[in-house]
Chain A
Amino acid sequence: MTAIFWKEMADHLGRRRFLLTFSLILFGFLWGMFILFREVQGSAVNTGEFLFLSLFTNSSGVLPPVLFYLGFFGPLIGIALGFDAINSERTQGTLAKLLSQPIHRDAVFNGKFLAGLATLGIVLAAIVLSIVGMGMFVMGYAPHGEEIIRILGFSLVTVVYLAFWLAMAMTCSIFFRNAVTSALVSLGIWLMATFLIALLIAPALAEVAVPEVKDVAQQVSRESWQLWISRISPSQLFNEAAQILLNPDARFTGVLSAQRASQLMSVQATPISAGQSLQLVWPHIIVVFSMVAAFIGVSYTKFLREEIRS
């Protein structure tokens, strides 16, 4: 499997996809720098405690936060690394040859998946570290422990989220022999998860579930329907988890009911600890993680049993 892993890594980072990975890193870095100089640097005095986190969550005019950049373009690179993983081997005629070598068939899938994941990890680490690094350089001090834990937690969530897209695209590459079909289906799912569910499907279904809104209770009920439906999308889960992790003032996920609001009002508005935030988003991470596992499971059952004809 290591042989496959390194060959795929060389493909991802070498000639073939270098431009893609490199430009993603570069844009991420520039995006972060823009936020840094336009927003964060000026407000250094009054924002106080969590400056490094605001590098990821602050937006600047029309430019959304770096968080958005990762959530939006990250999946695209996950798809780009995975959509032709297996079917390109098939069309090149290399799959039969590869599988006739003394390796287990799952090693082919595992090697490719891990190489993709490692590449995503490298890209993410490069973006996060370069932004934090420049932040340190410009602002002149280092992030404190709490911030480091939050940024690490956020990176973990992002990696799991990107792994979802990689696994999904690789599954498509097993099911669709044509790379173009596979790419289109992957992009369709991406479109569905990032836009359609949150903007169209969830509100529509919530309206069906709660047809009338006469009082606050019904309003809350409809909102929570909408939230729970949109949570079938990993993008929604990622956004929630990332918001919580990067924002120490956020202390709950879900819809704010009148009762809970009054409870919250009674406590002082102090930031919660990184550990508590992680606890809040733990379910989100687990759910996305199991989505990854589900896709890998489906791929296995299909790919390991399939007869490969050249």
Chain B
Amino acid sequence: MESLVETSSLTKHYGPIKAVDGLSLQMNPGEVYGFLGPNGSGKSTTILMLLGMTEPTSGTVSVAGHDPTRDPTSVKRQVGYLPEAVGFYPDLTGKRNLMYTAELNGINKREAEQKVEEVLQMVQLSEAGHRPAGQYSRGMRQRLGLADVLLKEPKLVILDDPTLGLDPAGIQWLLNLIENMAKQKGIAVFLSSHQLHEVQRICDRVGIMSRGKMVLEGTVSELTASQDGGFEVYLEVQKSNKQLIDALSNMESVTSVTTNGNKLTISSSVDLRNQVSEIAFEQKAGLVELRASNRSLEEIYLRYFQEPAGGDS
């Protein structure tokens, strides 16, 4: 199957600063790709290059079989883009805003009316569609933006930090919508975000950017496995004692047990939740909480998502 997006050694300099540095990326049709990284890691710049909105310093890009630098219109015909902090004409109704996008995409009026209704329903804005977009909340604007992107029936949608500034419920709702859209319509999604935890659940694959470079790529489970941390079980009991700690430490494949009062963290190479619960029960420690802490994901987060403190470069 031909790749939907393919870049090779894509580089963009802004003066002395390398915003994107030798990025090679590949994305298949129908795939949900999480493009993750802290702010300023080159995500937005990459997106601009994918759309032909800025020229790469060097390297090649191909999107849906076209070179966005040379032929941006062909790319834009097949790719929907939801910019970070999307805006609408505040005086026009949500519906009229979408009609304008439809017109710009050369969809004839009758067809457009029908499609606008359809996408508005999809993002649950059928009612609000008649109100001026200026009155919309941030979440509604984001949903209208998604509707706007879907109008042209794209092969690929590029979402630049769509969850930014939404409340937790709004984020879940939006992510579910994106997931459904990808599954039902077979639209590939290129989802940029700096919230690894939030978006990882809907992504088939993720790529992690740091300072313009792709530092990790793969499915979420591949990524966590590739980290050498193994598993970690977090245990909280009513009453911790030496016997309990010894019993835990003596289990097979346990590498370390750290304690903090009644809170214990057990590191191991395999998942030991079951055994840990049994030991806690045997020792009558009074189980309060037991969960696997996905340390690998945590580590990834700490390693790549903390913005460098001070001026180190």
Interfacial residues, chain A to chain B (CB-CB below 8 A): 3-4, 7, 11, 15-16, 91-94, 96-104, 307-310
Task: Report B-chain residues with C-beta under 8 Å of the C-beta of A309.
Answer: 44, 48
Say yes or no: A98 contacts B48, CB within 8 Å.
no
How far does the Cβ of A84 sit from chain B's closest Cβ, in whole Å?
Answer: 13
Say yes or no: B73 contacts A104, CB within 8 Å.
yes
Task: Let me know if B83 is at the binding interface, CB within 8 A.
Answer: yes
How far does the Cβ of A7 sit from chain B's closest Cβ, in whole Å?
Answer: 6
How far does the Cβ of B100 sit from chain A's closest Cβ, in whole Å?
Answer: 6
Task: Report B-chain residues with C-beta under 8 Å of the C-beta of A97.
Answer: 81-83, 86-87, 101, 145, 148
How far does the Cβ of B213 sit from chain A's closest Cβ, in whole Å?
Answer: 21
The closest CB in chain B to the CB of A98 belongs to B104
- Which of A92, A307, A310 contacts B54 (CB under 8 A)? A307
Complex CA gap A11/B100 in Å reads 13
Task: Report A-chain residues with C-beta under 8 Å of the C-beta of B89.
Answer: 92, 94
Say yes or no: B53 contacts A93, CB within 8 Å.
no
Interfacial residues, chain B to chain A (CB-CB below 8 A): 44, 48, 51, 53-54, 73-74, 76-77, 79-91, 100-101, 103-106, 145, 148, 152, 160
Say yes or no: B85 contacts A92, CB within 8 Å.
no
- Given A102-B77, A103-B73; A3-B104 close (CB under 8 Å): yes
- Given A308-B53, A309-B48; A96-B100 close (CB under 8 Å): no
Say yes or no: B87 contacts A94, CB within 8 Å.
yes
Say yes or no: B53 contacts A100, CB within 8 Å.
yes
Say yes or no: B100 contacts A100, CB within 8 Å.
no
Say yes or no: B105 contacts A7, CB within 8 Å.
no
Task: Report A-chain residues with C-beta under 8 Å of the C-beta of B44.
Answer: 309
Task: Report A-chain residues with C-beta under 8 Å of the C-beta of B85.
Answer: 93, 310
Say yes or no: B76 contacts A16, CB within 8 Å.
no
Task: Report A-chain residues with C-beta under 8 Å of the C-beta of B148.
Answer: 97
- Given A100-B81, A307-B48; A92-B90 close (CB under 8 Å): yes
Say yes or no: B81 contacts A102, CB within 8 Å.
no
A-B contact pairs, 12 of them (CB 8 A): A15-B91, A91-B87, A92-B87, A94-B89, A96-B83, A97-B81, A97-B101, A99-B53, A101-B105, A102-B104, A103-B76, A307-B48
The closest CB in chain B to the CB of A96 belongs to B83
Complex CA gap A100/B145 in Å reads 12
The closest CB in chain A to the CB of B151 belongs to A101
The closest CB in chain B to the CB of A100 belongs to B81
Task: Report B-chain residues with C-beta under 8 Å of the C-beta of A11.
Answer: 91
- Which of A15, A307, A310 contacts B84 (CB under 8 A)? A310
Say yes or no: B76 contacts A101, CB within 8 Å.
yes
- Which of A3, A100, A308, A310 contacts B76 (CB under 8 A)? A100
Say yes or no: A4 contacts B53, CB within 8 Å.
no
Task: Report A-chain residues with C-beta under 8 Å of the C-beta of B88.
Answer: 92-94
Complex CA gap A16/B90 in Å reads 11
Task: Report B-chain residues with C-beta under 8 Å of the C-beta of A104.
Answer: 73
Task: Report A-chain residues with C-beta under 8 Å of the C-beta of B77.
Answer: 102
Residue from the set A3, A91, A92, A102 with the largest chain B CB neighbour count within 10 Å: A102
Task: Report B-chain residues with C-beta under 8 Å of the C-beta of A91.
Answer: 87
- Given A307-B54, A308-B53; A100-B90 close (CB under 8 Å): no
Complex CA gap A309/B39 in Å reads 14
The closest CB in chain B to the CB of A90 belongs to B87
The closest CB in chain B to the CB of A308 belongs to B53
Complex CA gap A307/B101 in Å reads 21
Say yes or no: A100 contacts B73, CB within 8 Å.
no
How far does the Cβ of B63 sit from chain A's closest Cβ, in whole Å?
Answer: 12
- Given A100-B51, A102-B73; A3-B86 close (CB under 8 Å): no
How far does the Cβ of A94 sit from chain B's closest Cβ, in whole Å?
Answer: 5
Say yes or no: A310 contacts B105, CB within 8 Å.
no
Say yes or no: A3 contacts B73, CB within 8 Å.
no
Complex CA gap A4/B103 in Å reads 9
The closest CB in chain B to the CB of A107 belongs to B104
Task: Report B-chain residues with C-beta under 8 Å of the C-beta of A102.
Answer: 73-74, 76-77, 104-106, 152
Say yes or no: A310 contacts B160, CB within 8 Å.
yes
Complex CA gap A96/B91 in Å reads 18
Task: Report A-chain residues with C-beta under 8 Å of the C-beta of B101.
Answer: 97, 101
The closest CB in chain B to the CB of A99 belongs to B53
How far does the Cβ of A187 sit from chain B's closest Cβ, in whole Å?
Answer: 24
Complex CA gap A91/B90 in Å reads 11
Task: Report B-chain residues with C-beta under 8 Å of the C-beta of A308.
Answer: 53
Say yes or no: A307 contacts B53, CB within 8 Å.
yes
How far does the Cβ of A69 sit from chain B's closest Cβ, in whole Å?
Answer: 30
Residue from the set B73, B81, B83 with the largest chain A CB neighbour count within 10 Å: B83
Task: Report A-chain residues with C-beta under 8 Å of the C-beta of B54.
Answer: 307
The closest CB in chain B to the CB of A104 belongs to B73
How far does the Cβ of B51 sit from chain A's closest Cβ, in whole Å?
Answer: 6
How far does the Cβ of B44 sit from chain A's closest Cβ, in whole Å?
Answer: 7
Complex CA gap A98/B53 in Å reads 12
- Which of A7, A16, A93 contacts B86 (CB under 8 A)? A93
- Which of B74, B83, B106 contacts A310 (CB under 8 A)? B83
How far does the Cβ of A2 sit from chain B's closest Cβ, in whole Å?
Answer: 8
| Additional A-B contacts beyond A96-B53, A97-B86, A310-B86 (12; CB < 8 A) | A7-B103, A91-B87, A93-B88, A94-B89, A97-B82, A97-B87, A97-B145, A99-B53, A100-B79, A102-B73, A102-B76, A308-B53
